[in-house]
Structure 1
C-alpha cells in the first residue's frame, strides 16, 4: 500500500495498481469520531463548521474538537474566528511551507489572512509587503497555492489555518494592514474594516468607526452574527467606558437576534461593569433578563426586568412602562420573586395626551395584571383596548411582541395567528433567529386549537430543527411537546415515539424559562391523549396542568376525563373555572365548551346544551372542538333512537375529522354512523413517508419552490447539507427530481 498527495501523483505513475482517492469523512462518521474524543456532545452546526474548516480531515477533526471548550462544542458559545491548531496539525501541514523562500511565504500568508481569493487584492497586498510577482509562481509550484477561475486558494483549509497560526503577531498585523489598504476604494468595505481591526493591537478611533459602519451594514441585511462580532471588536478598541458599554449592548442585542444567548449574557455582564447611565443600564438589564427567562429561570428573569423598569422609571417613564409591561407579561405566565414590587406599582399611568405607544404599553400592563388576578373581564377589556389602538409598525418591538402574546390569555385564535405570522415574516426578513423560533412555536399553539394540524406540525418541526442546528437545546422541549400533542390528537401510530422523545428531552433539559408552564401542560395533554391510557392515568396527567392558557386548551378533555374516571367533583370544579373565564372574556369557543361540558355532566337537557354549543362554535375557528360537539350530539340522538337526525351531525363530524387526519376520532364517528344505519366510507389520505424531521422540512420547503440556497438560509444550515438530505428524500419517495417532488400530492409530515 502506498500513500501520496493528489498534487504529487504524477511522480508515482503505476497504472497496474488500483487507485483509491481518499476524501474527507462524511458528517455522520465525523460526528462519531468526535464523540469518542470530545468533552461534550457536539451541536450540528458546530460539526458542520469543523467539517468546513478541516474538509473532513480526521486528524484535524480530532485535534480541533479537542481544543474547543464544552460551551463551544455544544454551540452555546461561538467558535473563535481562527480555530486553535495543535502542534500535530501544524506539523502535518507546514512542512513544505517552511522550505519556501520568504517572498513565497509572504504570498501564502496574504492568501491565508484573507479568504476572498481575489487575485488583484492579494497581488497589491503582497507587493506592499515586498513580494515580487514571481513569488506567486513559486507558491503555486509548491502545491500549496491553487490558481483557478474562482481565484486564489490554499490546498486545504487546514493549510490556511497552519500558515496563519505560524506567523508572528507583528507579521500578521502587517499583513492585515496591507490587505486593508488593498481593499480601500473597493466595494468590500466590511472586509477592509475587519483587516483594519486585525492590524491594530490597541484603541484606534478610525478603526472603531469602520467597525461600527460594518456592524450597521451587517445588521441591516440580517447578518446579526457578523454585526455582533464587529461591535464586540469595536468595544475592545474603545477607550471611553460609556461608549464601550453602548457597543457591548449593540453586540449583545445582535447576538440574541442570532440565537446566541450565552454570548448575549457574557456581553451584558461585561457592559454593566462600565455602564453608569441609568437608561443604558436598564437596556442591558432587559437583555440579561431576556436570556434568563428564555434559557434558565423565569423567576430570575422577571426579577431582573423589574430592576430594569425601576432603574429607568425616574429618567424615562415611557420606556420604564414598556419594561414594566414586559415584567407583567412574565408574571402572567407564572413568574414571581420575593421582595420584588409588582410591575404595576413601578410606573405611573400615562398622561392624557400620551402617545399611542404609551397607551398600548399601559393597556397591556393593565391587561396582564388582571390576568394575574384572574379578573378576566378587566383583562379582556384592557387587552382588546391594546389591540384596537392604531399602533404604527415603527413602535418598539416589545410592544408588538406582547400584543401577540396577549392573544394566548384570551384564546383569540384568528388574531393570534395573524399577529404571530406577521411577527414571523418580520423576523425572517430581519434574519432574527430568536424571534423566528418564538413566532413559530407560539403560532403552533393556536393552529393546534383551530385544527390546522399539518401547518402546525411543519412549523413545530422547523422550530425544532432551528433549535438543534443552533445548539439551543434548552428551547427544544417546546416544539417537541407540540409535535407530541398533534400526533396524539391525530391518533398517529407515531404518537408514543413523539412522547418518548419529549420525555427524554425533558429529562436532559428540564424547562426553566417562560414556556415552562405551557411545555409541561402540553406534555401532560399529550400523555393523556395516548390511545392506550386509562381514564385514571389520563386524569392524573390532566390534573398537573396549572397554567391557565393550557387549562383552557384542554378544558373539555379535562372535564370529560374526570367524568370517565368517576371524579365528578373535579369535573364540576373545572366547569366552574371555564364558566368564569367565559363570562369575563366572552370568547365563543369558551361558551361552546361550557355548554358541551354541561351536557356531559347532565346539567339540564343535553340536546339543548349541545345545540347551543354548536351555535357558539359557528362563530369560532376551532374546528376540532366543533366536530367533537357534533359527534357528541350525534351519539346522543342515536342513543335516543333518533337515528335519522343523528346522521347529519355525525357526517359533519366525520368529514372534519378526516380532513384533520384525526384517525381515532374519525373511526369513532364512522362507528356511530354505522350504528345509525348509514355506511360510512373510509377516507383515503396519503400516508406520510418515513422521512426524518429534517428531510420532511426540507422536502416541504422545496415543494414550495425554494432553491437549495433559500432552504439553507431558512433552516440555518449549509446548501451542502440541504443537498445531502434532498437526495435521501428522493430515494425514500422513489423520485428523481424537484419537479416530481413538487407534483406529489398529500402531506409529507
Structure 2
C-alpha cells in the first residue's frame, strides 16, 4: 500500500471521528493496520484459491476433462505468479501438458508466449535474459518451447539442448521428467530414454507413486519412437496396471494407446480393436486428442498389416491431412508413412504426394531420426519405375545411420515387394528375408507374417507350405483361396489385389478344380485348419 492511499484512508477516518488532535494522530495508524490486515487476508484467500485450482487442475489432468484441467492450471499460474513463482511455473508447465493432451495448439502456444523480463531489460520475445538475471533459465525455457510450438525445432534445439546435457542423475524427479520429455520432443531419443529412466528410478526411490505411471508413459513413447517395441510393451503394461489402481484414467488411456501401437505390429487386428475401444471410452469424454490419435493410428497400422488397405487409408486420412479434423498438431507426421503406403496399395494414390511434401518439411527439421529413411521410402512408393530402386536404396542407406529395426524392416519389405512385381525374384527374396528377420528381431509378428507370405510368393521354399493343401496353387491362386475362405467377396478381392472381378473368377475356377471342391463354403471348410501365414500372399498386384 503506497503513502497516497494511506493518507486518503487516514483523512476519511479523521473526518468521521471529529477534529480531536489526539485522535487525528492515533486513528491514521489504526486505519493503516486494519487495511493492511484486510489486504493480507484478501491475498491469503486469493493464494489459497489459486492453490486449490492447482490441486484441482493436476487431479483433472490425470482423471478428468483435460480442457478443464488446463483452465484450472492457467488460473492457478496467474494467481501464484507474485506469491509463489515456482508453483506458478509448475502450474504453467502442467497447463502445457494438458493442452498437448487435448491437441489444443493455440493454448499450447499461448502458454509459452514470452513476455518482457520483469528483472532485466530483455523485452523482445527472442532475446534471452542477461546471464546474471535470476529469470534467465526460465526465460530460455519458454523461448525454446515457444519455438517448439511454432514448429521451429532447429532454434528450439539450439536453445534447449545445452540445458538437457547439464541435467545430472541427482536432479529432482520433476526436473528429470521435464528434461526427458523435452528431449523426446526434440527427437533426441537416447537422451530422452536415459533421462526418463533416471526420473522413473527417482520417483520409485522417493515413494512418489502418483508420478510413476506418467513417467512410464513418456518412457514407453520414447522406446516406441526408437523402435524398441518389446521394451515399450513391458513398460506400458506395467504402467497401465498402476494407473488403473490409482484411478488415473487419462494416464491409463495414454498407456493403453501405446499398448495398442505395439499390438498393431505384434498381435492381431481383433486385439487391437479391443484395445482401441478401451482407449476411446476415456479419450472421447475427456478430450484426450493425443490418446485418440495414437489409438486410431494403431488400428490403421494393424489394418494395413492385415491387407485391409482401403480401411487403413480411410482411417488415416483425417488424422494426417491438414484441416480442422487433423488428429494432433504435434503428432500427425508419425502416421504419414502408413498413410502413403495405404494410398499406394488402394485407389487413393492421388492423395499421397501432398502428404509426402508436408512430411518432407518435417523430416528436414531433424527431430526424428527415422524420418529421412521414411521419406525416401514414401518417395520410392510413388516414383516412376526408373527412379524407385534408387530411392529404396537411399532409404536403406538412411536406416543404417539410425537405429530402428521395425522401420528398417518395412523398407526391406516394400523394396522386396517392388522387386517381385518387376519379376526379379532372386533380388526380391534377399530384401524379403531381411524384412522377415528384422520383424522377428523386434517382435513384429503381424508384419513378419506378411513378409513371410511375400517371401513364399517370391518363390522361397517352405516345407510346411509345400506339404499343405495349397502347395499346388500359384501364389495368386493361394491368395484368392484364402480370401474366399475368410469370407471376402470377388469384388473385395479384386479391389485388394488391383485386378478385375473377371480375373478373380477365372482364378477361383482353377482353385476349385485343383482342390476338388465345388463351392465357396466347401473351400472355406477345406482350408479351416490351414495357417494364414503359410498361404496368403500380400499387397500389390502381379505384373501383367
- Give the TM-score of the pair, scaled to structure 2: 0.65
* Structure-2 separation of matches of 1:342 and 1:479: 25
* Structure-1 separation of matches of 2:174 and 2:328: 23
How do residues 127-276 of structure 1 correspond to structure 2 at under 5 angstroms?
Answer: 276=44
Inter-CA distance 358–597: structure 2 relative to 1 (3 Å threshold): farther
* Structure-2 separation of matches of 1:465 and 1:318: 32
For the 8 Å contact 2:164–2:179, the answer to whether it is kept is yes
Q: State the Cα distance separating 1:521 from its structure 2 match.
A: 1.2
Aligned to 2:222: 446
* Structure-2 separation of matches of 1:400 and 1:558: 35
Q: 2:326 aligned with 1:550, yes or no?
A: no
Aligned to 1:634: 416
Q: 2:141 aligned with 1:368, yes or no?
A: no
Aligned to 1:455: 231
For the 8 Å contact 2:257–2:275, the answer to whether it is kept is no
Aligned to 1:435: 211
Q: 2:121 aligned with 1:353, yes or no?
A: no
* Structure-2 separation of matches of 1:347 and 1:402: 24
* Structure-1 separation of matches of 2:232 and 2:265: 12
Q: 2:344 aligned with 1:563, yes or no?
A: yes
Q: State the Cα distance separating 1:595 from its structure 2 match.
A: 0.7
Aligned to 1:294: 62
Q: 2:274 aligned with 1:500, yes or no?
A: yes
Inter-CA distance 414–549: structure 2 relative to 1 (3 Å threshold): farther
* Structure-1 separation of matches of 2:334 and 2:434: 22
Gaps (5+ residues) in structure 2?
A: 1-40, 123-127, 320-326, 465-544
Aligned to 2:245: 469
Q: State the Cα distance separating 1:463 from its structure 2 match.
A: 1.7
Q: Could you give the per-residue CA deviations for residues 112-134 of structure 1, whole angstroms, max 9, x where no partner exists? A: xxxxxxxxxxxxxxxxxxxxxxx
For the 8 Å contact 2:313–2:343, the answer to whether it is kept is yes
Inter-CA distance 519–557: structure 2 relative to 1 (3 Å threshold): same
Q: State the Cα distance separating 1:571 from its structure 2 match.
A: 1.6
**Superposition CA RMSD, Å:** 3.5
Gaps (5+ residues) in structure 1?
A: 1-272, 683-749
Q: Could you give the per-residue CA deviations for residues 632-678 of structure 1, whole angstroms, max 9, x where no partner exists? A: 22233343344443343322221111122323322332334344444
Inter-CA distance 274–431: structure 2 relative to 1 (3 Å threshold): farther
Inter-CA distance 295–638: structure 2 relative to 1 (3 Å threshold): same
2:406 to 614, 624, 632: 624
* Structure-1 separation of matches of 2:98 and 2:197: 22
Q: Could you give the per-residue CA deviations for residues 298-352 of structure 1, whole angstroms, max 9, x where no partner exists? A: 33333333334334444666775565455445445533688x9654245636632
Inter-CA distance 459–567: structure 2 relative to 1 (3 Å threshold): same
Q: 2:308 aligned with 1:534, yes or no?
A: yes
Inter-CA distance 416–501: structure 2 relative to 1 (3 Å threshold): same
For the 8 Å contact 1:320–1:347, the answer to whether it is kept is no
1:599 to 380, 383, 387: 380
* Structure-2 separation of matches of 1:398 and 1:361: 15
Inter-CA distance 417–312: structure 2 relative to 1 (3 Å threshold): same
- Give the TM-score of the pair, scaled to structure 1: 0.48
* Structure-1 separation of matches of 2:202 and 2:436: 38
Q: Could you give the per-residue CA deviations for residues 273-294 of structure 1, whole angstroms, max 9, x where no partner exists? A: 9971877776654433222333
Q: Could you give the per-residue CA deviations for residues 26-61 of structure 1, whole angstroms, max 9, x where no partner exists? A: xxxxxxxxxxxxxxxxxxxxxxxxxxxxxxxxxxxx
* Structure-1 separation of matches of 2:169 and 2:136: 15
Q: Which has the larger displacement, 655-664 or 594-603?
A: 655-664
* Structure-1 separation of matches of 2:175 and 2:138: 6
* Structure-2 separation of matches of 1:584 and 1:380: 10
What SS does structure 2 have at the residue aligned with 1:554?
A: helix
For the 8 Å contact 1:331–1:372, the answer to whether it is kept is no
Aligned to 1:4: none
Inter-CA distance 599–408: structure 2 relative to 1 (3 Å threshold): same
* Structure-1 separation of matches of 2:363 and 2:332: 13
Inter-CA distance 533–592: structure 2 relative to 1 (3 Å threshold): closer
Q: Could you give the per-residue CA deviations for residues 184-209 of structure 1, whole angstroms, max 9, x where no partner exists? A: xxxxxxxxxxxxxxxxxxxxxxxxxx
What SS does structure 2 have at the residue aligned with 1:566?
A: coil
* Structure-1 separation of matches of 2:463 and 2:181: 42
* Structure-1 separation of matches of 2:262 and 2:301: 10
For the 8 Å contact 1:474–1:511, the answer to whether it is kept is no
More contact order relative to length (CA 8 Å, sep ≥ 6): 2
Q: 2:165 aligned with 1:384, yes or no?
A: no
Aligned to 1:525: 297
Aligned to 1:174: none
* Structure-2 separation of matches of 1:347 and 1:295: 35
How do residues 572-583 of structure 1 correspond to structure 2 at under 5 angstroms?
Answer: 572-583=353-364
What SS does structure 2 have at the residue aligned with 1:598?
A: helix
Q: 2:113 aligned with 1:344, yes or no?
A: yes
Inter-CA distance 559–591: structure 2 relative to 1 (3 Å threshold): same
* Structure-1 separation of matches of 2:379 and 2:334: 17
1:409 to 155, 169, 185: 185
What SS does structure 2 have at the residue aligned with 1:588?
A: coil
* Structure-2 separation of matches of 1:324 and 1:475: 19
Inter-CA distance 530–498: structure 2 relative to 1 (3 Å threshold): closer
Q: State the Cα distance separating 1:358 from its structure 2 match.
A: 5.7
1:657 to 439, 443, 451: 439
Aligned to 1:608: 390
For the 8 Å contact 1:484–1:523, the answer to whether it is kept is yes
Q: Could you give the per-residue CA deviations for residues 467-522 of structure 1, whole angstroms, max 9, x where no partner exists? A: 232333443222222222222212x24x4134224414533674626xx2221012
* Structure-2 separation of matches of 1:541 and 1:619: 31
For the 8 Å contact 2:223–2:231, the answer to whether it is kept is yes
Q: State the Cα distance separating 1:627 from its structure 2 match.
A: 0.7
Q: State the Cα distance separating 1:558 from its structure 2 match.
A: 1.5
Q: State the Cα distance separating 1:429 from its structure 2 match.
A: 1.0
* Structure-2 separation of matches of 1:444 and 1:376: 22
Q: State the Cα distance separating 1:588 from its structure 2 match.
A: 2.9
Question: Would you say how many aligned residue pairs link Structure 1 and Structure 2?
Answer: 405
Aligned to 1:257: none
* Structure-2 separation of matches of 1:633 and 1:670: 14
